[in-house]
Structure 1
Amino acid sequence: MSISGAVLMMPFAAGAQAVATPAGAQVKDMGEVIVYGKKIESNPNAENGVAYKARTSGDSRHTRPLAETPQTIAVVTKAAIDDSGMTDLKQVLGAQPGITLGTGENGNAFGDRYIIRGQEARSDVFVDGLRDPGMSTRESFAIEQLEISKGPNSSFAGRGTAGGAINAITKQATLDKDFTRVSAAVGSDSHKRVSTDINKGFGDHFALRANALYGDEGVPDRAPSDRGREGVAVSGLWERDRDLSVTLDYYGLRTKDHMPDLGAYLVGAVPNRVPATNVPVYAQTNDFLKSNVDTVTARINWKLAPSLRLTSLTRYGKSENSYNTTGANSATRFNGATGDQYTTVALDNGHSGWQDIDYFAHQSNLRWDVLAGGLKHEFIVGAEYTDHKVVSGNYAFTNTTPFNCKTTAGVGANNGFCWTDSKGNPATSDLTTFAGRSATRLGQNQDWRVKTIALTAMDTVDLTDKFTAFGGLRVDHFDLDLVRSNNLTNVTTGDYGYKDTLVNGHLGLSYKVTPKGIVYGSVASAQDINGGEADAGTASGYGGAVLYQNQIAGAKPETSINLELGTKWNLFGDKLLATGALFQTTKKDVMEGANYDTVGTFNTGKNRVRGAEFSLTGDITEKLTAQIGASFMKSKVLGSAVAANIGNPLSNFAERTASAQLKYQLTNAFSFGATVRHESDRCGGQPDTGAQFANGVCMQPVPSFTVADVFAAYRFNKKLDLRVNVLNAGNKDYYTAVYRSGAFLYKGDARAVRLTLNYEI
């Protein structure tokens, strides 16, 4: 049963025992008594009976409930994801305040790219507290809740996390309840999706949980582009008793986008630069975007003593990501035979890449609750070892169709695929076969590897009955190897590597205004390393290695400091959480790229983000459930090797983002709701060094948008319900991200209708 919070009807009289009454007393038949209750969530972190609200974090290092944690942590529960009708993590996270999406960085199209509070987070995605390396397409079918930590987070997450981190909490086997849930969906654009979630206990000590997914759909109004998803997640639990349990998980996902659609492109000159309209699908028939992921995770939860608990995770994973995509742009072209000049749209030369990821990670945390110095402490000490290896390369393209235009002036050989000739006549009736393009995988051109040993120490202490302090410290020692090679000759062209140690901390102080409301202040740091983005290589402008005299060493880590003042209030019997925060993140020693080549500039950049964020999550009334949030931010480049960058906002930065998902339970059987999300306009450009402006006008603009989805559900009985989702109900043309040249302008999905039948045994 995927719609949580649904009201169940149970006849109290069923199986009830007769109750004796005194002799001669008058007995009145009251009829059948109906007791209404809410579905019990399988998510152990959920607030009981509140579908959209999480009570606790899935990360055991957060020892207090979320309402008492001095940090902005937004949580999206599985129930909220299901009601929204969204399935890919990119869709779910792109609808959250403070998060914007980016295009494939450095022209690549590997998986998903997230930007949190203006800072890159494409490598800051975690699963159950362990970093998930590589750029892949991520799905929600095996996720219990998504946790989005806002602000620098290296004391928890290690390197990176300048804007925050995303942690996916997965579904685990449980002995608490057996269930079988099946969901089957059909919809517009040939949408088909079937998923199962089965949990079964075997005696008092063993349980097994299995999730499976099959999905296939066309991209709304962009046929023949389509998306395929297949996945399996199996979790096995052995529980000796409540003090010791061992869980072993397998997760496998296969995703393939056939003819991935890069959307539109910008046309016109500043200040009249706008998205092109009525852009046909131009992806070539052999284009694709694929991710294959396999991971195995072992967990141990062991209560060694009444006040001492060990939590240990060990994971081994492999993934394979690859893509071939085709872009297009409008520019001046030339007739190779006559030299005539004209403006038209042309296909680009294509973009490709592959990466094979192999990684091992282990993390152990020991929690000790103790009274020391008359104060209650919750100590966490932890150790982590990770070995992440990413081998990558690209493809060679072959075009079987002859070129029909030139990109340079004058008469000569054609070298481009223009959509029209110099007289405006269409060059082809089918753009998807225009180039006749195919691709051959080449050998590796990069071997990137980072080994890290980390130690953490944290303490949450009640200083008084009202004041609580949190302190955390993490030390990461890493060893980076980066070998570049010519993938045609297999000759090594560069061997870069270095070692360093990062030290980061987090301090928070909260005050209980009432038993259900706190105010807090916190300061936290994060650091990122030179060459920390595995997909960027030596493209220094995109997080790749900054080189000097063919060496990587010599740069300080980029350092971010976040200051935050906030408040959190549990309202209406803990059914509604209201939060608000003011924050400032300053990032210094930014490693800037020069002209996007292998030569960069050490530690010359500095930027700042200031803002406020508000949220309301849970039950507003007995019938109305909501998840509402808004973020208002300003960004500014404070320092740069390029003087023109100073004062500009950060690229791909929306100053205002907001979303509201509301669900109303009209009757015991019928509910309906809507999701509205808004993003203000953004300006494209290079990360960190700022958006691209000319005379104060954005050169690569992404227009603002407001998009609404609607949904409704009807419960036939306690086992069966039906949900209808209409995504982008107004069929609005909107765009989520732009590449720095304006050649890619990712288009949001058009209207889509989904009909989902949910059955629980």
Structure 2
Amino acid sequence: MQMPNSKTTLESTSANPPKSDTAVAGVLGLALLSGWAALPANADETAPPKDKERVMDTVHVDGQKVESSISTLTGPVEDIPQIINVIDQDLLKAQGVNTLEQALRNVPGITTDLGEGGVLNGDQFFIRGLSAKNDIFTDGLRDFGVFTRDSFNFEQVEVLKGSSSTTLGRGVTGGGINTSSKTPHLKNAISGTISAGTADYARFSGDWNQQLNSSTALRINAMVHENGVEGRDVINSKRWGFAPSIGFGLGKKTSFTLSYLHQEDDRTPDYGVGFYNNRPLTEYGIPSSNFYGYDSDTDESIVDSLTARFKHSISDNIEFTSDTKVGAYSRLFVQTINSCSTGADCIGIEDEATRANAEILTRSSPYDQNTWGVQNVSTLRVTSPLGHLENELLIGWDASYQSNERKRLGFDTTDRGRVPKSVLSPTHGEGPALGQVYRIEDTTGKDISIFIHDQLWFTEAISMVLGGRFNSYEVDQNRIDFTTPYAPTACSGTLGDNCLTQYASNTEFFNPKASLLWEPTEYQHYYISYSTSATPPGVTIANGTSLSSTTQDLDPEENKSYEIGAKIGLLGGNILLQSSIFKTEKDNAKETDPISGDITASGLKQSVEGIEIGLSGQATDALNISANYTYLNSTIDEYVNRSGLIDSSVTGNKTQYVPENAANVFVTYNLLNGPLKGLQIGGSVNYQSEVFLNTSNTQKLDGRTTMDSFIAYDFGNYRAALNINNLTDEDYFSQIHSSRVTPAAGRTAIASLTATF
């Protein structure tokens, strides 16, 4: 890392990923060996001069410098003492990515949860086997809603692995996911892409940047999208969005950027297929195309967010930033869940002669929801010596307020929408008519924290990082149950027209972080790190039922992370090798009832240990590569049942949804000379080992290997491309849950044409 008094000062201490830095991780041993191989005999004589800007500090997209949008990060990616995977603009374009979920397929160690009926189905992920459904951020600010995020306004996607509470706040035990938005820059540019493909795929996206004067620019991104899913009946998605932004003082000591995002999505929620005798229905000869919902099933979401980002360099060594976001999210969700949970369901599917008579139970728990929130994160960064030692200090605050109102809807029938359907040949048509509101859950959360991060250099090569964040978190929930035709509600033992139940939790917690770094040369970075995180009760406000009588009085979950890692620049910094050995211990909060002696706990207690290794970058002028591998050993230490009580019967089992081995390789090759100059070919291979879907480890999915490919040709101001996803038409499941899985799309071809001026 360049020390604070070198040429690359405050501005360059933002996290700047290396070119084509996608999912990168690693085994420490291999990294160390590579590091010693890269170490010159006399490192001091051959290391690049301190005032020379490094290739690894920046990534250039169309000639502009792209930085991380997380204001609380304190250095380039290779200097941060934790694994950070970056999916950059080049990779997003090459793969034809259009959602966050598709982008994260490049990061081994992340799995996608299908979600329950009562939980918001959408972007829900696990990082290193730990839930990250509340740990998604945009430009370093928390995304309050849960929805399917389109990538049309992504500049890049960053995944911070391991505990990141000091950087991002509450939760983020396994890590955090941040999307950096496209923002104005000082260059006139306009581009548009039109795409069409199988399964009724159609898409248009546009990007227009206009420089207004020497320090002001306007940028507008827009998107219209529609697609079905190859191999799945009925499923489709239609969405559109636009994102205007304007920047003032660009390149100056004082800058201000104002950005707005609007996205509307109307899709059919896909709850896949259920299980029978611990096996997916598709293993009994049931077509993977079967959809057990109705034509009227819908997931209608509207997202509006406004973000203001202010930065002022007070002097050469003092910088102040203040980022504010206001977001509003609305959602109407009507889904159909299928289940073989009772004894009579799905009987007969094992025998081909009786399969046509087998029935599966379907049910729904629809709701209408409105969420809004506001957050401000402000930082002061000071790079001044402490005595005779170089020092960099970051202090700041993080304050947010979030509100969520969910109205649960009933049906105009007495069966609550529970309808049996044929397992083999389900009908669709219109579902049961929605009835009155039978429950309202109104939840609010207030979060105030202060944080400090200090890096002190003992020598040019050795430094220490100490930091911490103090949080005060308060959540309140009012639940009103109304009498309905099919579910009369008891209130204090009698039936009433309404019943108000109130829950509340107010917690305070502190999370420290300490790291020791050794950087013997410009391209070698080794670290050992310890950090903690905390997850308070009621942290997932957008999921509606965030509190209960058994959890509201619990302390926050406490989690500890240990990591040893290395980040090494190879080939003059054109390739970055990242590696780490880590362990995370997730501890649940407990409370003992003084009368019954029952032990109530907040959730799963587990330990995760693993290894990550990967490299990415430009191997030659023509060849770009990203190769990554993750090993995870995740074990259940304590399991908590639905009543909040500890169940020791599964202690020692593997944690659900966690593949032990996962790997990803993505390669592109550009023809730079000859008659085919401008031709680009590439592809990826993704591997994931088997995963367990329940805590008893009786349900599991086999491992799978998938392949994607693309070919593109640049000519003048145009680029034509053909992407083929799931090249081998592999049968696998893209989203998983303990009682159902979603079959992935079959082989899909998408052709696109881009014009850039």
TM-score category of the 2 structures, normalised to the smaller one = 0.7 to 0.9
> Structure 1's 492 and 298: CA in aligned 2 closer, same or farther, altered over 3 A?
farther
> Structure 1's 547 and 276: CA in aligned 2 closer, same or farther, altered over 3 A?
farther
- Asked if the contact 2:292–2:421 (Cα under 8 Å) also holds between the matched residues in 1, the reply is no
Q: Secondary structure at the match of 1:514?
A: coil
Q: Using the TM superposition, give the Cα deviation of residue 272 of structure 1 relative to its aligned residue in structure 2, in angstroms.
A: 11
Deviations along 1:477-514, whole A, 9 cap, x unmatched? 11111111115587343111121212112111111233
Gap regions ≥5 residues in structure 1: 6-42, 336-340, 404-414, 421-425, 539-543, 686-690
Deviations along 1:110-129, whole A, 9 cap, x unmatched? 32110011111001101111
Q: Structure 1 residue aligned with 2:363, among 349, 352, 355? A: 349
Match of 1:649 in 2: 654
Match of 1:30 in 2: none
Q: Structure 2 residue aligned with 1:418, among 410, 413, 421? A: 421
Match of 1:516 in 2: 523
Q: Secondary structure at the match of 2:92?
A: helix
> Structure 1's 710 and 501: CA in aligned 2 closer, same or farther, altered over 3 A?
same
Matches within 5 A, 1:441-456: 442=437, 445-456=440-451
Gap regions ≥5 residues in structure 2: 1-18, 21-54, 347-353, 485-496, 640-645
Deviations along 1:45-79, whole A, 9 cap, x unmatched? 8424799x998533233232111111111111122
> Structure 1's 618 and 398: CA in aligned 2 closer, same or farther, altered over 3 A?
farther
Extract structure 1 runs of 4+ deviating beyond 6 A.
270-273, 399-403, 591-594
Q: Using the TM superposition, give the Cα deviation of residue 545 of structure 1 relative to its aligned residue in structure 2, in angstroms.
A: 2.7
Question: What is the distance in 2 between the residues matched to 1:560 and 1:154?
Answer: 10
Deviations along 1:394-428, whole A, 9 cap, x unmatched? 2223579999xxxxxxxxxxx742317xxxxx7x7
Q: Using the TM superposition, give the Cα deviation of residue 604 of structure 1 relative to its aligned residue in structure 2, in angstroms.
A: 7.7
- Asked if the contact 2:120–2:543 (Cα under 8 Å) also holds between the matched residues in 1, the reply is no
- Asked if the contact 2:538–2:552 (Cα under 8 Å) also holds between the matched residues in 1, the reply is no
Match of 1:724 in 2: 722
Q: Structure 2 residue aligned with 1:204, among 210, 214, 220? A: 214
Deviations along 1:14-70, whole A, 9 cap, x unmatched? xxxxxxxxxxxxxxxxxxxxxxxxxxxxx998424799x998533233232111111
Deviations along 1:432-488, whole A, 9 cap, x unmatched? 12x743334626521111111111111122221111222221111111111111155
- Asked if the contact 1:590–1:605 (Cα under 8 Å) also holds between the matched residues in 2, the reply is no
Matched AA of 2:635 = K
Deviations along 1:507-562, whole A, 9 cap, x unmatched? 11111233211211001111001122225555xxxxx43524xxx54312101110
- Asked if the contact 2:566–2:578 (Cα under 8 Å) also holds between the matched residues in 1, the reply is yes
Q: Structure 2 residue aligned with 1:463, among 458, 461, 467? A: 458
Match of 2:274 in 1: 265
Match of 1:566 in 2: 565
> Structure 1's 488 and 239: CA in aligned 2 closer, same or farther, altered over 3 A?
farther
Q: Secondary structure at the match of 1:370?
A: coil
Is 1:297 aligned with 2:307?
yes
Matches within 5 A, 1:29-44: none
- Asked if the contact 1:110–1:322 (Cα under 8 Å) also holds between the matched residues in 2, the reply is no
Q: Structure 2 residue aligned with 1:124, among 127, 135, 157? A: 135
Q: Using the TM superposition, give the Cα deviation of residue 755 of structure 1 relative to its aligned residue in structure 2, in angstroms.
A: 0.6
Question: What is the distance in 2 between the residues matched to 1:290 and 1:172?
Answer: 27
Deviations along 1:360-396, whole A, 9 cap, x unmatched? 1111111111111111111111112100111112222
Match of 2:696 in 1: 692
Aligned CA RMSD, in angstroms, stands at 3.1
- Asked if the contact 1:220–1:749 (Cα under 8 Å) also holds between the matched residues in 2, the reply is yes
Deviations along 1:665-697, whole A, 9 cap, x unmatched? 134310100011111111123xxxxx223xxxx
> Structure 1's 88 and 334: CA in aligned 2 closer, same or farther, altered over 3 A?
closer
Question: What is the distance in 1 between the residues matched to 2:145 and 2:416?
Answer: 37
Match of 1:146 in 2: 157
Match of 2:547 in 1: 545
Match of 1:484 in 2: 479
- Asked if the contact 2:103–2:157 (Cα under 8 Å) also holds between the matched residues in 1, the reply is no
Match of 2:586 in 1: 587
- Asked if the contact 1:56–1:66 (Cα under 8 Å) also holds between the matched residues in 2, the reply is no
Deviations along 1:155-198, whole A, 9 cap, x unmatched? 111111111111111111112x1100111101111111000111
Match of 1:24 in 2: none
Q: Secondary structure at the match of 2:573?
A: coil
Q: Which moved more, 1:181-190 or 1:455-464?
A: 455-464
User: What TM-score results when the alignment is normalised by the length of structure 1?
Assistant: 0.83
Percent of aligned pairs sharing the same letter: 25
Question: What is the distance in 1 between the residues matched to 2:684 and 2:253?
Answer: 42
- Asked if the contact 2:503–2:548 (Cα under 8 Å) also holds between the matched residues in 1, the reply is no
Deviations along 1:308-358, whole A, 9 cap, x unmatched? 1111111111001231111223465399xxxxx997232412232332111
Q: Using the TM superposition, give the Cα deviation of residue 283 of structure 1 relative to its aligned residue in structure 2, in angstroms.
A: 2.3
- Asked if the contact 2:587–2:606 (Cα under 8 Å) also holds between the matched residues in 1, the reply is yes
Question: What is the distance in 1 between the residues matched to 2:592 and 2:235?
Answer: 35
Matched AA of 1:547 = S
- Asked if the contact 1:173–1:237 (Cα under 8 Å) also holds between the matched residues in 2, the reply is yes
Q: Structure 1 residue aligned with 2:433, among 432, 438, 446? A: 438
Match of 1:676 in 2: 685
Q: Secondary structure at the match of 2:71?
A: coil
Match of 2:624 in 1: 625
Match of 1:20 in 2: none
Matched AA of 1:692 = S
User: What TM-score results when the alignment is normalised by the length of structure 2?
Assistant: 0.83
Match of 1:393 in 2: 407
Is 1:370 aligned with 2:366?
no
Deviations along 1:580-620, whole A, 9 cap, x unmatched? 100000011256999xxxx9823585310000011111112
> Structure 1's 211 and 566: CA in aligned 2 closer, same or farther, altered over 3 A?
same
Is 1:526 aligned with 2:522?
no
Is 1:750 aligned with 2:749?
no
Q: Secondary structure at the match of 2:452?
A: strand
Question: What is the distance in 1 between the residues matched to 2:280 and 2:412?
Answer: 38
Q: Secondary structure at the match of 2:261?
A: strand
**Greater RCO (Cα-Cα under 8 Å, separation 6 or more):** 2
State how many pairs are aligned: 670
Q: Which has the larger Rg? A: 1
